[in-house]
Amino acid sequence: MNMKDFSLTGKIAWITGASYGIGFAIAEAFHAAGATIVFNDINQDLVNRGLAAYQEKGIPAHGYVCDVTNEEAVQALVAQIEKEVGVIDILVNNAGIIRRIPMIEMSAADFRKVIDVDLNAPFICAKAVIPSMIQKGHGKIINICSMMSELGRETVSAYAAAKGGLKMLTRNICSEYGGHNIQCNGIGPGYIATPQTAPLRERQADGSRHPFDQFIVSKTPAARWGNPEDLQGPAVFLASDASNFVNGHILYVDGGILAYIGKQP
């Protein structure tokens, strides 16, 4: 075993929606492993915030504004990255949104919006980078899936439909392009403490913990929420040559939630 297989030296990694949160932590780890970091976000304010955060960590990241649901904009961004930075070796489809609304109260427009960002956009971004990966003879695509790729719960019908679909898109990219030495895998984070899940952790008026917060801690054998940093090692592994025969796999990084039936009452 050559430990250099875990290195990302010389690789160019594009992480979508990586101004903060999970995407930022993955980018930080990729930089530590030797990769050049490219990220995009939905508006200039977020990109500026991201650039400042990367600079503070001493990471020379390239930041761009791009809505990943816009195929024309994504194709133009990939062309610009190839010109300004180089051909992308690693794509992480991280940008995502959630709407927590009971299904029978949810508008079709809201449902479509979630599917657009969480499922259509990973298709659009993967489609944009695969041709150059084929030419280069290798490529890594990591799709950020979810517990909701496997489980349902009240209020997240669109998110679960999208993340379940993203699991199958992952397997299909593997099936279709594995022969070109492209590995497409997913990471299924458990419940991670980021702004996206902040409403589920808010303190109650009386200072007690949110019931959902208590529920998640009791459902997680690790007995805690995850941190974005918990995803760093798995992401580096799936981006590196150490995982060259791992394809179409969803790596759940959930503190054991999916393995556990839950505490008996």
How far is 117 from 145, CA to CA, in rounded Å?
12
Residue 153's binding partner among ligand GCO, ligand NAP, none (Cβ under 5 to 8 angstroms by kind) is ligand GCO
Inter-residue contact 158 to 106 (CB < 8 Å): yes
Give me the 183-212 binding string for ligand GCO, x by CB under 6 A, dash otherwise: ------xxx----xx---------------
Secondary structure E strands in 50-190: 62-65, 90-93, 139-144, 182-189
Q: Does 157 bind ligand GCO (CB under 6 A)?
A: no
Which of 49, 100, 113, 180 is in the footprint of ligand GCO by CB under 6 A? 100
Dist CA 137 CA 180 (whole Å): 6
Active-site residue, 252 included: no
Q: How far is the C-alpha of 175 from the C-alpha of 178, rounded, in Å?
A: 6
Task: Kindly provide the b/e burial profile for residues 60-93, where b requires at least 16 CB atoms within 10 angstroms of the residue's own CB.
Answer: ebbbbebbbbebebbeebbeebeeeeeebbbbbb
Please, which residues bridge with residue 257 across strands?
none
Q: Nearest distance from residue 48's CB to ligand NAP, in Å?
A: 12
The nearest distance, CB 124 to ligand GCO, in angstroms, is 21
- Report yes or no: 188 and 250 within 8 Å, Cβ to Cβ: yes
Of the candidates 114, 119, 192, 235, which one interacts with ligand NAP according to CB under 6 A?
192
Give the active site residue among 159, 177, 191, 252. Answer: 159
53 vs 97 by CB, closer to ligand NAP: 97
Which residues make up the interface to ligand NAP (CB under 6 A)? 16-17, 19, 21-23, 41-42, 46, 67-69, 94-97, 117, 144, 146, 189, 191-192, 194-197
Which residues make up the interface to ligand GCO (CB under 6 A)? 98, 100, 146-148, 153, 156, 159, 189-191, 196-197
Q: Which residues are catalytic?
A: 159
